[in-house]
Amino acid sequence: MIPFKISDFLSVRRVLHWRRLLWKSQFFPPDQLEQLQWELVSAILDNCFADVPYYREKWRLLGLSRSDFRSLADLSRLPLIPKSDIIDGMESFKSDRIERYRPKSIRTAGTTGSPMQVYWDLDSNILELTCNWRHYSWFGYRLGTPFLDIRNFRRHLEDTWAWNWKCRGLETSSLFWDESNIGECRDMLKQRRIRMWRGHPTALGHLCRLFQNAGIDDVRPDIVVSVAETLPKHERRFIEDWTGRPVGDSYGLIEHTALICQCPAGGYHIAPEYGIVEILRDDGTPAGPGEEGRIVATGLHNRAFPLIRYDTGDFAVASGESCPCGRTLPIVKALRGRVVDRILDAGGNWVSGVHGLFKYYDGIRTSQVVQFEAGALDVYLVPARNFDDGLRALVVSDIRRELGEDMTIRTHIVNEVPFPSANKFKFVVNRIGKSAAA
């Protein structure tokens, strides 16, 4: 979990306002949801035209003024924002009055190979909190319920466990646990009275398998939420079979522009109060029901660092259906982005989340990790202007610390990564072969 201070969310009035509204708006008729979105995006547009250099200049060159926008449909007049614009011109996306919004600087994890810096503000933090709270409540969560947060990497942890008292979250990594110590894990979950598990799908599945093989069944969670990576069908089946609970899959962006949450009935609901989500064909027109398209997102609350029609690089399948759960929130049929290949580390373990190692490297423009053989990695780096041999050595040492000192790391300085794609770019590419992966 990203460290935060209470002040990052401290506005009781606003938290309570959104707590009340979100529990009602999930049943609003479509026209009422659209009206709410228009009120929110209008405030963001006012902010962008007045205070954000990127939009002032870009829209001036296009001959656009604030009066040109009178409805949600008018947003289609605006060009998409590629990630490269944010990487190259991060300062121009900052509001001229950024400090009044209590900004928090955040580095994205770079699942698409290109990490970048963004800012959160108080209002976007509050919506992140309350919208996820609503999602978890669909499965029985109440604020303050102790939960486990388990990931497929360990670099964020100084010890096996970290207890975050601010949100009653117990953090760990799947890399710490195997057949020899799974009893210790069980004891900690019992001690903290953990009722909800949240984490990477493969990390959740790993823990379930260890408990199943050890015959431990008294720590099964009441709530399971998968985050940050695509949830494979076979992993969902196994987790649901062992826990006896449906997995609430989710899709979110650290840029605070889009949130899609799965309900117990299986519907992937867009949170329209959080952000506007468009699913577009390659020609920029909306994808029809059953069509796969690119996710383009507009955040509705971040005035410190607003992103309007941001091209996420992820994909989803559009849907024109309603969900049997009764909620009127729009849905997508399926999520297609974030298909992240795993790496076979020096100890023979499958590891995901390697992309997060690259979030702190300012001297790398784009990167890709490719595994052609067990025990070795080829790392392709497209350098930025401040890249040097010291950074290259740091990349190697950080990967070895995560995957094992015996790992062979070959770095390649290139102008373009070896497996580009016009559609679903993959930061991690595993080419070992079907037999090894099995």
- Specify the pLDDT at position 266: 94
Mean pLDDT within 276-298? 93
Mean pLDDT within 197-217? 93
Topology given in CATH for the domain delimited by 343-437: GMP Synthetase; Chain A, domain 3 (3.30.300)
Q: CA 426 to CA 396: how far, in whole Å?
A: 20
Of the given ranges (47-51, 154-158, 293-297, 404-408), which has the lowest mean pLDDT? 154-158
Work out whether the CA dihedral 74, 76, 78, 82 comes out positive or negative. Answer: positive
Q: Give the closest residue to 42 by CA, choosing from 68, 16, 79, 14.
A: 68
CA distances (Å), 41 to each of 71, 150, 273, 299, 365, in order? 9, 35, 10, 8, 31
- Answer whether 140-245 and 343-437 agree in fold: no
Of the given ranges (24-28, 66-70, 226-230), which has the lowest mean pLDDT? 226-230
| Of 432 and 421, the one with more pLDDT | 432
Contact, 363 vs 393, CB < 8 A?
no
Secondary structure letter of residue 324 according to DSSP = T
DSSP conformation letters of 67-107: GG--SGGGGGGSPPB-HHHHHHTGGGGS-TTGGGG--EEEE
Q: CA 432 to CA 280: how far, in whole Å?
A: 34
- Specify the pLDDT at position 88: 86
Burial class of residue 420, CB neighbours in 10 A (0-12, 13-18, 19+):
exposed
Residue 201, phi then psi, degrees to nearest 5:
-55, -45
Mean pLDDT within 104-126? 79
b/e code 228-263 from CB counts within 10 Å (16+ = b): bbbbeeebbebbeebbebbbbbbbbbbbbbbbbbbb
| Of 285 and 365, the one with more pLDDT | 285
Residue with tokens 């994205």: 108
| Of 366 and 370, the one with more pLDDT | 370
The structure tokens listed for 33 are 């949801």
- Specify the pLDDT at position 433: 62
| Of 337 and 218, the one with more pLDDT | 218
Contact, 205 vs 241, CB < 8 A?
no
Of the given ranges (36-50, 155-169, 353-367), which has the lowest mean pLDDT? 353-367
Burial class of residue 133, CB neighbours in 10 A (0-12, 13-18, 19+):
middle
- Specify the pLDDT at position 434: 43
Mean pLDDT within 26-48? 96
- Specify the pLDDT at position 424: 53
Predicted structure pTM score: 0.80
Of the given ranges (4-18, 142-156, 203-217), which has the lowest mean pLDDT? 4-18
3-state helix, strand, coil in the chain (%, to 5): 35, 25, 40
Residue 249 reports pLDDT greater than 80: yes
Banded model confidence at residue 290, pLDDT cuts 50, 70, 90: very high
CA distances (Å), 436 to each of 342, 347, 373, 407, 433, in order? 12, 14, 9, 17, 6
Topology given in CATH for the domain delimited by 140-245: Rossmann fold (3.40.50)
| Domain 6-135+251-335 of CATH type 3.40.50.300 | no
Banded model confidence at residue 356, pLDDT cuts 50, 70, 90: low
Mean pLDDT, rounded, of the chain: 88
- Extents of the domains making up the chain: 6-135+251-335, 140-245, 343-437
